[in-house]
Amino acid sequence: MKKIALAAALVAAVPLAATPALATENIVVAQAEKPTGQGTINSIDAAGKKLNMTHGPVAALKWPGMTMDFNVAPGVDFSALKSGQKVVFTLSRGAGGYVIDSIKPE
Ligand SMILES: [Cu+2]
């Protein structure tokens, strides 16, 4: 009877061991589908690679609409953008929080 009890304990342990791998997969999926939003640019700091925007809700991050400053990822060309313009954008997570990694006129 003792052997059977040990086997049952080993089987029961397998799902626990698999849990970290599943969690990692979920994180990869979340990164592949970038949070997307719409907004209106209030001001642009091209040299500082920043802008201020009033954006609508970002469902993927459960963000409500708000006005805030954003850092813009290196390599993003926003020279065609201007204050007052309506845009669509995607975000990616950087070391200091979310940054705009693509942005274009709506
Ligand atoms: Cu915000």
C-alpha 63 – ligand 1 centre gap (Å): 6
C-alpha 52 – ligand 1 centre gap (Å): 10
Mean pLDDT of 42-63: 95
Largest separation between any pair of C-alpha atoms in the chain: 76
pLDDT at 14: 47
C-alpha 70 – ligand 1 centre gap (Å): 8
Mean pLDDT of 1-20: 50
| Both structure tokens of 103 | 């942005």
Q: What are the CA-CA distances from residue 58 to residues 1, 38, 94, 102 (Å)?
A: 56, 8, 17, 15
pLDDT in tens, 80-92: 899 999 999 999 9
pLDDT at 25: 47
Q: What are the CA-CA distances from residue 53 to residues 9, 23, 44, 94 (Å)?
A: 55, 33, 9, 18
pLDDT at 13: 46
Distance of CA 41 to the CA centre of its chain: 20
pLDDT interval class at 77 (50, 70, 90): confident
Structural domain spans, the chain: 1-32, 36-105
CB 6 within 8 A of CB 57: no
pLDDT at 53: 98
For residues 62 and 37, give the distance between their C-alpha atoms in angstroms, rounded to a whole number: 11
CB 8 within 8 A of CB 23: no
CB under 5 Å of ion ligand 1: residues = 66, 68
CATH architecture for the domain at 36-105: Beta Barrel (2.40)
Q: pLDDT higher for 8 or 35? A: 35
